[in-house]
Amino acid sequence: MILGIDPGSSGAIAVFKPDIGHLSMIDMPVLTVSRNGKEKREVNPHIIASIFRDREPATAIFEKVGAMPGQGVSSMFQFGRSVGTVEGVLAALNIPVTYVTPQVWQKACGIRGGKDGSRMRAIELFPAYAQLFARKMDNGRADAACMAWWGATQS
């Protein structure tokens, strides 16, 4: 079992069993909290730990991310917290991790242009699960699924 992880608060976790071709998706579990009078979405480490523990994955493919141009300082800090939270849970549960840049997995998957490009490719790779990628907001799911597929093709 391979986990593909798109780490942001709008990301997702793909659970892929390549031996039987089964794919399931979990939207990144988040909680909305109030901080300094503003509502913030934070990744929930307890639910993530439960998800990972229940599935006992062999490995995780984790998107190697960095700062994104145009993002505000607060947004980038929050994104960094999300990434660190997921990494911490993976480390605590001793799940082996392979980091992959978006450029590497997107090229290997044959993704063409934009956010809809990864949704379209995820539908092509997993046609029986096309409904998982039907909405524009499902790009995090598509990215996670494509990373899991990339991980399966690397061994």
Model confidence over 130-154: pLDDT tens digits? 999 999 999 999 999 999 999 999 9
Is residue 3's pLDDT more than 80? yes
In three-state secondary structure terms, 27 is strand
Phi-psi region of 56 (alpha: psi -120 to 50; beta: other; left: phi over 0): left
HSE toward the beta carbon, residue 123, CA cutoff 13 A: 16
Predicted confidence (pLDDT) at residue 155 exceeds the cutoff of 70: no
- d(CA 153, CA 131) in angstroms, rounded, equals 23
The strand pair at 22-27 and 12-17 is best described as antiparallel
Domains of the chain by residue range:
2-153
Q: Which CATH number fits domain 2-153: 3.30.420.10, 2.60.40.10, 3.40.1370.10, 3.90.1150.10?
A: 3.30.420.10
pLDDT at res. 37: 87
Q: Which amino acid, one-letter code, is at 152?
A: A
Strand partners, 35: 38
The values of phi and psi at residue 34, to 5°, are -100, 125
Cα–Cα distance measured from residue 111 to residue 143, given in angstroms and rounded to the nearest whole number: 10
- What's the mean pLDDT in 24-41? 90
> Cα separation of 79 and 120, whole Å?
25
Specify the pTM: 0.90
